[in-house]
Amino acid sequence: MRTLFLLFFLFTFTESTLAQGFDGVASAIRNGDAGSLAQNITGNVEITIKDTEASYSKAQAEQVLRKFFDSNRPKSFSIAHQGTSPEGSKYFIGSLSTSNGTFRTYVYAKTSGNALSIQEIRFEAQ
């Protein structure tokens, strides 16, 4: 019985931690906070902004995201759809309203231990 309780607690804690991490990613986008968003990047990340796509290191990604948010001040952000793959990867699709228009936003992340590691971010003009 103790083992069952321990497994339940570990699963619940891990799911809660990952959910909070993804909430933090959405909050960083909502606030235009490139630094907080970059904290969830390990290794390289694919970033697409409008029609420009490239792979960046964490430091480069933070600069690219900062430049995007400086040019496109967020007004609001809402998640339209989110999901989890059987392997534990997570994604969400949302709508980011900015000072220069609305962007369909896509974020894909893999779990790394108890943390999320963003693999891809897309901001596509609507």
The domains located in the chain, with CATH, are 2-125 (3.10.450.50)
Q: How confident is the model at residue 53 (pLDDT cuts 50, 70, 90)?
A: very high
CB crowding 48-58: b at 16 or more within 10 Å, else e: ebeeeeeebee
pLDDT at residue number 123: 98
In the three-class reduction of DSSP (H, G, I as helix; E, B as strand; rest coil), residue 107 is classed as strand
- Between 21 and 62, the more confident residue is 62
- Between 113 and 120, the more confident residue is 120
For residues 93 and 67, what is the distance between their CA atoms, to the nearest angstrom? 21
How far, rounded to the nearest angstrom, does the alpha carbon of residue 108 sit from its chain's CA centroid? 6
Model pTM score: 0.82
For residues 14 and 113, what is the distance between their CA atoms, to the nearest angstrom? 9
Task: Write the pLDDT tens digit of every residue in 16-47.
Answer: 333 445 889 999 999 999 999 999 998 899 99
Closest by Cα among 72, 76, 105 to 91? 105
Q: Would the pLDDT of 81 be above 70?
A: yes
Amino acid present at 16 = S
